[in-house]
Structure 1
């Protein structure tokens, strides 16, 4: 008899965690496991790419209330959710005032989730394993019936700024906590050493066949007669795209004719555009916006750059390596777990001048550029074997 696995996910909008989930779902042996996916919202560019063997649970309207504007909720039949969201904001402010802790995105998510739990319905069904793949895992703890529960963490815990007390309360009720790299696991355990026995590392699983197929699509956005640099990610503080115009200008001042393309979307787009204008880079830094299929852009760029301030493990870097592209990343806290400096990518300083110098040095070294590509071609970055860690947990539970 097949064992049942449930994944929960907020939505399937374009992002690294969403692409990682697609790879994981493709790697599962469906002869042995029945897999279901519960999405809070049936929305997102990646919905159509979910493995057809996965059963998508019908949408439950009340789970959409995490993101709906509070005013809209108050005017609807779901007004109790709006009231709960208001109360969560009040308690969050009080917590920060009394504890002197800084309010952050993760803490905001914690309080929103906490104060919605009492009116959210249970997710139907009984499962051998349930996995909260992204976000605060309250729903996994309170609303799902499963023998084994796994919470996934996709980022460097140093950057999350959560309520530690609430984290401990939730994670104490979960069987396993999966981080996407050994560095991220170490960062997590620095704050919660008591969870060492339930902490595991499961690297992002990516589908090489999917990437190769998608990368063959024709594109016309790139301009000829220039060196093409590409960066992909949400337009947010973590990705550091607001410094791309300054870095681009410094590289061009070295005589390199580059065009730097940005794929993504987010709240920082206004800041990025203002920086493009400030540094007079309108012709050289190009925002392409959302792209459901970013892979032909990776395939056709000369250099992929991830200039992040921090990362867990950047899925886009792995994807660029899988498509045999030279890669540059900044020296963020977990950068050493992302690539081997000088072998399948280059790590450059975080500051704008150091970053520009490092990129320019690589672009001027055609031999090294070619060697990085060849080294990437010799490695399997799909991490398909990581699925065995999930199998082991399920079979031994």
Structure 2
């Protein structure tokens, strides 16, 4: 009999965790597992990439009404006589409105969102919250399962969350998975009393699929094209990238930089581009269903993040043998060996620009790095065994 699994994630919008989930589900053995997926918002860039055998669960009416705009949601609950939910919707709004740290806002507002979520009807062999905060909380509070597993996809210390909220939830989980050895150690340091719960389950990246998708269409880019991928969020350090682009321009370097992604910082970043008159050098090109032809055609891949768990985009660039400039966030050395298969630089615009110039000006070095990457096997399909062990142990 197939094991029955449930995954929880807020949505399948563009992001590393969302891509990681799609990769994981696409690698799983459908003859051994049946999978339900619950999303708070049934949408996103990766929604159409789900395997057909995954069943998407509908939202209950209360949650549907809760996610309407504030006034519409509030009035809907009042008309239905659901005064507790009306109050919860207002409290949810206030928490998210006035707490500046969005991660903490999600933590503190969960009790109000929870009131709109009913317990799912089925029982599962294992339920997996695939992203920190609400997904993990939902698994504990609104799911019946023999095993309950949480995921943390970032360096926990950098997330700046209230660990006093997470700790009781972690205690209720069978285990908490994260994506790199460094992230495991950080969790053990933050929650020493729970250290046996923390497990390593790396992201799944398919080299065969990425090579295939990279040839799906061709694109004509600048001879010195840089490409970066990620949410337009302070975590990804695109402000540092734009400052680095300004330095390159001032040095009369010929280049163009495509930044693929969307997010809350779009207006801020575009203002930076305009202020520095970089409109012909840096483009925020939005989301792409298939960004791999851009990576394939690029001269350099740049990851300017302030922190990461383990960057899927970097692993994908490695598979396509692209010279990489990577900022020295805490898990960078898990992915790149400096000056061997990439460059790890300080988290400053000057260092990022210097790393890019090293590749552009030293052709033999760029070729050496690319050849080193091409000789490796960076697909991680085999890591599915660690996930199977997690749900079966």
Taking structure 1 as the reference length, what is the TM-score of the superposition? 0.91
Q: CA deviation digits over 1:111-166, x for unaligned, max 9? A: 22122223411122111111100131111001111111111111111122222211
- Does the CA contact (< 8 Å) of 1:129 and 1:148 recur in 2? yes
Alignment-derived partner of residue 369 in structure 1: 366
Alignment-derived partner of residue 128 in structure 1: 125
Residues in 1 aligned to 2:87 and 2:351: alpha-carbon distance in whole angstroms:
49
Is residue 170 of structure 2 the alignment partner of residue 166 of structure 1? no
Q: CA deviation digits over 1:150-196, x for unaligned, max 9? A: 11111111122222211111111001111111111111222111111
> Bigger shift: 104-113 or 386-395?
386-395
Indicate the SS of the match to 2:126.
strand
> Bigger shift: 68-77 or 5-14?
68-77
| Aligned Cα root-mean-square deviation (Å) | 2.2
Is residue 30 of structure 2 the alignment partner of residue 30 of structure 1? yes
Alignment-derived partner of residue 247 in structure 2: 250
Is residue 366 of structure 2 the alignment partner of residue 385 of structure 1? no
> Bigger shift: 240-249 or 273-282?
240-249
Alignment-derived partner of residue 99 in structure 1: none
Q: How does 1:1-397 map to 2 (within 5 A)?
A: 1-64=1-64, 68-77=68-77, 80-88=84-92, 103-136=100-133, 137-220=136-219, 222-224=220-222, 226-396=223-393
Q: CA deviation digits over 1:235-277, x for unaligned, max 9? A: 1111111232221121233342110111111111111111111
Aligned-pair CA distance for 1:92? 8.4
- Does the CA contact (< 8 Å) of 1:261 and 1:287 recur in 2? yes
> Bigger shift: 55-64 or 136-145?
55-64
- Does the CA contact (< 8 Å) of 2:125 and 2:145 recur in 1? yes
> Bigger shift: 30-39 or 78-87?
78-87
Q: CA deviation digits over 1:11-60, x for unaligned, max 9? A: 11121111111111112112221122112222112111101222222343
Q: CA deviation digits over 1:64-84, x for unaligned, max 9? A: 567543233113247754521
* Structure 2 unaligned spans of 5+: none
* Structure 1 unaligned spans of 5+: 97-101
Indicate the SS of the match to 1:282.
coil
Residues in 1 aligned to 2:340 and 2:330: alpha-carbon distance in whole angstroms:
19
Residues in 1 aligned to 2:60 and 2:360: alpha-carbon distance in whole angstroms:
51
Aligned-pair CA distance for 1:6? 1.1
Aligned-pair CA distance for 1:203? 0.8
Aligned residues: 387
Aligned-pair CA distance for 1:304? 0.5
Distance change >3 Å, CA 380–CA 223, structure 1 → 2: closer
- Does the CA contact (< 8 Å) of 2:74 and 2:89 recur in 1? no
Residues in 2 aligned to 1:19 and 1:92: alpha-carbon distance in whole angstroms:
26
> Bigger shift: 203-212 or 121-130?
203-212
Taking structure 2 as the reference length, what is the TM-score of the superposition? 0.92
Aligned-pair CA distance for 1:107? 1.1
Aligned-pair CA distance for 1:322? 1.3
Distance change >3 Å, CA 67–CA 256, structure 1 → 2: farther
Residues in 1 aligned to 2:96 and 2:252: alpha-carbon distance in whole angstroms:
51
Indicate the SS of the match to 1:12.
coil
Residues in 2 aligned to 1:378 and 1:248: alpha-carbon distance in whole angstroms:
31
> Bigger shift: 311-320 or 387-396?
387-396
Residues in 1 aligned to 2:152 and 2:67: alpha-carbon distance in whole angstroms:
20
- Does the CA contact (< 8 Å) of 2:246 and 2:278 recur in 1? yes
